[in-house]
Amino acid sequence: MYLLTGIVVIVASFGVYVEKQIRASATTILEDRLKPVPLISHRFDYYGTTIQDNFSSSIVNYEQLLANRGEIAKVKKETEEGWVAYKATYLTPDEAKLVDHAQKAMDEADALVDLLLEKAVTDRPYVDSILKTGILNEKITPVLDDTNALLELQTAVGKEETVKMIELLTKFSNFMIGVLAMAFVLGGSLLYSQFKKEPQPVRRTTRKAPAKKAPAKKPVARKPATRK
C-alpha cells in the first residue's frame, strides 16, 4: 500500500507539473505569437501600401492625395494602436531590440509623411523635390525590414514553444508507460503470492469422552456377634 500510494503521488505531481508547463507554452503561443501577427502585418501594410501608394516618387496625384488624407490618418491610428498592443506582449531580448529599432524608424518616417502632407497643400514643388531624392523610401525601408523580421520571429519562437510542448508530452508519455509497467509487475507479484500460498489443514477439535464412573460398592452386611 505504501508503494502504491507513492506511485499515485508521483504521477499526480508530475501530471500537475506537465499541465502547468503546457498551459504556459500554449498561452504564450496564443497571446505572444499568434495574436501579434496581424498587428505587425497591418503596420507593415500601412507603410508598404498606404504610404507608398500615395507618395509615388515619379508622379504624385495631389488631388487624390489630399482626398485620401482622412483615410491615411485613420489607417495610421488603427495600426498604431495595434503596434502598441503588440509591444505590451512578452518580447524576447532579440525581439525587444528589433522593436526599438523599428520604432525609431517609424517615428522618422511618420515625421516626414506629416511634413509632406502639410506641404502638399502649401508647397507642392517642395514635396516633389523631397520625393525625387528618394528619402521617403529610405525612411520606410527599415520599417518594412524590421516588421518583416518581427513576423518571421513570431513563427520561430512559436515553433520553439511548440517543440517544447511536444518534448514534454513525450517525456510524460514515457513516464506513464513506466508507471503502467511497474503497476503490472506489482499486480502480478501480488497475484502470484496469493496463488502460491498452500491452504493450511483445518484443525478438528476432538472432545474427550467423559470418564466412566466406578460402580458404587454395595455395603457388606455384618453378622451380629453371638454370645458364648
In the prediction, which pLDDT does 228 show?
46
The per-residue pLDDT for range 168-182, each reduced to its tens digit, is 888 888 888 887 787
Percent of the chain having pLDDT more than 70?
A: 83
131 or 184: which leads in pLDDT = 131
Reduce the DSSP state of residue 115 to 3 states and report it.
Answer: helix
| Residue whose cell numbers read 508598404 | 48
Across the range 146-155, mean pLDDT stands at: 96
In angstroms, the first-to-last Cα distance of the chain is 103
Q: Which residue has the higher pLDDT, 151 or 219?
A: 151
pLDDT of residue 2: 73
User: In which element (H, E) is residue 124 found?
Assistant: helix 124-133
**What is the overall mean pLDDT for the chain?**
85
The per-residue pLDDT for 219 is 55
- The yes-or-no verdict on residue 186 having pLDDT over 70 is yes
Instruction: Give the separation between CA 136 and CA 144, rounded to whole angstroms.
Output: 12
DSSP letter at 55 equals S
pTM: 0.73
Quickly state the pLDDT bin for 201 (edges 50, 70, 90): low
Q: Higher-confidence residue: 54 or 5? A: 54
Give per-residue pLDDT as tens, 76-103: 999 999 999 999 999 999 999 999 999 9
